[in-house]
Amino acid sequence: MSDTLNDDAREAKELTPWLGFQRVPGIGPARLGRLVELFGSVASAWAAPTDDLRAVGVSDEMIRAIDRVRNTLDIEAELGRMRRAGVRAIPLNSDEYPRLLRHVTSSPPLLFTRGQLAPEDDVAVAIVGTRRSSSYGIHMTTMLASGLAAAGVTIVSGLAHGVDTAAHRAALEAGGRTVAVFGSGPDVIYPAQNKDLARRIIQSGAVVSEHPVGVKPDARNFPARNRIISGMSRGVLVVEAPTQSGAMLTASFAADQGRDVFAVPGQATSDKSAGCHALIRNGATLVTNVEQILEQLDLASAKTQRQTRMVLPETPNQRILYAVLSTEPQHVDDICHTSALPIHEVSGTLLEMELKGLIRQTAPQHYVRA
């Protein structure tokens, strides 16, 4: 119990400045980054006295806003709300923060996740396109997403109708990983028709958002969401898109971030492919098969590299717990009950297995096979 309390206290201390600054109107990624640069850390910036903030150019209005949040933030209530929703907060300075996203301009200071991000998500391709996709668009999305997933590439998309939905489904059905980036809180599934799909993604991949628990979808959130989709990926593939669309904005972010942009050609007269054709005219790589993407990104060996890293349970306790676990999250108490092992042995063995990459946590004290 004391270890749990200590862990909770550490989590509260670590996340307080991140959650606090997120709630201050007017402090976005750029301004927070400047404060961290000036004060040395986000914790020091959060604790800075009024005079010190004023001395580095923070306005009196902003200082009052910071003080209001400092005085009203109930960190225990915030963390409790997150735990009940199965949500974790990953700050920019965490080793768990997506490596590719960390190095783009305006990367979110704090990510809220369900499921589990994994190191292999560094090998990712975003697949985006219109919500009103044609049968051709769905066919091409399914073929390309399943092929990439089978090659060991994580598929990143936005869970929208059409191309996004087809990309996530194809990745899952190929036995691969997929990450959905939300324009709402990670607990608010949008569109609602994709609740079952989101549940499957959480079981074997992750849902990611820069918005906290409970935030409803808002049209203003989705353009900024698209920079995360491209930022988490080695390249962005546009399957079908009109010239004015969110997918085209994602491609623009990708180009600004130094990512490769790919586009699937369509019928010359199709409005649904007009955006793809414009991208190709402007230098995007025309693709019709998976091999072209893998070759361009030098990812042909991604699956081989992952297979080389695969490990198996070694000790008797590891083998017992691995047999107990599945793709459905289980609480440590249930694992103890099923395995008939004492809690101290289960806890130690779970840590060993997590470090080896055999299992992962989907939420505090909830485990699944990796």
CB-based burial label for 357 (10 Å; 0-12, 13-18, 19+): middle
Q: Are residues 36 and 125 in the same domain?
A: no
Residue 310 domain-assigned (yes or no) = no
Select from 273, 304, 335 the last residue of a domain: 304
Q: Are residues 212 and 295 in the same domain?
A: yes
Asked if residue 302 has pLDDT above 60, the reply is no
Distance CA 346, CA 332 (A): 8
Q: Are residues 336 and 300 in the same domain?
A: no
What is the three-state SS of the chain? CHHHHHHHHHHHHHHHHHHHHHCCCCCCHHHHHHHHHHHCCHHHHHHCCHHHHHHCCCCHHHHHHHHHHHHHCCHHHHHHHHHHCCCEEEECCCCCCCHHHHCCCCCCCEEEEEECCCHHHHCEEEEECCCCCCHHHHHHHHHHHHHHHHCCCEEEECCCCCHHHHHHHHHHHCCCCEEEECCCCCCCCCCHHHHHHHHHHHHHCEEEECCCCCCCCCCCHHHHHHHHHHHCCCEEEECCCCCCCHHHHHHHHHHHCCCEEEECCCCCCCHHHHHHHHHHHCCCEECCCHHHHHHHCCCCCHHHHHHHHCCCCCCHHHHHHHHHCCCCCEEHHHHHHHHCCCHHHHHHHHHHHHHHCCEEEEECCEEEEC
Asked if residue 86 has pLDDT above 50, the reply is yes
Distance CA 104, CA 257 (A): 6
Structure tokens at 358: 């055999």
Residue 155 domain-assigned (yes or no) = yes
Distance CA 48, CA 54 (A): 10
Asked if residue 281 has pLDDT above 50, the reply is yes
Domain extent for 321: 316-369
Q: Are residues 152 and 293 in the same domain?
A: yes
How would you classify the pairing of strands 110-115 and 206-209?
Answer: antiparallel
Residue 97 domain-assigned (yes or no) = no
- The more confident residue out of 83 and 298 is 83
pLDDT computed for residue 193 by the predictor:
97
Question: Which strands form 260-263's sheet, in the order they lie side by side?
Answer: 88-91, 110-115, 206-209, 178-181, 154-157, 124-128, 235-238, 260-263, 285-286
Residue 113 domain-assigned (yes or no) = no
49-72 residue pLDDT tens: 999 999 999 999 999 999 999 999
Q: Are residues 258 and 189 in the same domain?
A: yes
For the segment 150-170, the average pLDDT, to the nearest whole number, is: 97
Sign of the CA dihedral 166, 167, 171, 174?
Answer: positive
Q: Are residues 295 and 322 in the same domain?
A: no
Residue 151 domain-assigned (yes or no) = yes
What's the pLDDT band for 308 if we cut at 50, 70, 90? very low
Residue 90 domain-assigned (yes or no) = no
Q: Which of 116-130, 216-230, 310-324 is predicted with the least confidence, judged by mean pLDDT?
A: 310-324
For the segment 170-181, the average pLDDT, to the nearest whole number, is: 96
Select from 257, 283, 304 the last residue of a domain: 304
230-275 residue pLDDT tens: 999 999 999 999 999 999 999 999 999 999 999 999 999 999 999 9
pLDDT computed for residue 69 by the predictor:
96
Average pLDDT, the chain: 91
Q: Are residues 361 and 323 in the same domain?
A: yes
Distance CA 364, CA 260 (A): 36
pLDDT computed for residue 300 by the predictor:
65
CATH of the domain at 350: 1.10.10.10
Distance CA 96, CA 78 (A): 20
pTM for the model: 0.79
Distance CA 335, CA 366 (A): 9
CATH of the domain at 134: 3.40.50.450
For residue 202, which phi and psi values (nearest 5 degrees)? Answer: -65, -35
Asked if residue 347 has pLDDT above 90, the reply is no
Q: Are residues 132 and 272 in the same domain?
A: yes
Q: Are residues 153 and 57 in the same domain?
A: no
CB-based burial label for 265 (10 Å; 0-12, 13-18, 19+): middle
Structure tokens at 179: 């990450």
Q: What's the one-letter identity of residue 9? A: A
What's the pLDDT band for 138 if we cut at 50, 70, 90? very high
Residue 108 domain-assigned (yes or no) = no
Asked if residue 125 has pLDDT above 80, the reply is yes
Q: Which residues pair with 112 in a beta bridge?
A: 89, 209
Q: Are residues 40 and 176 in the same domain?
A: no
Q: Are residues 143 and 232 in the same domain?
A: yes
Residue 39 domain-assigned (yes or no) = yes
Select from 304, 331, 354 the last residue of a domain: 304
- Give the whole-number percent of the chain exceeding pLDDT 90: 75
Q: Are residues 263 and 335 in the same domain?
A: no
How many structural domains are present in the chain?
3
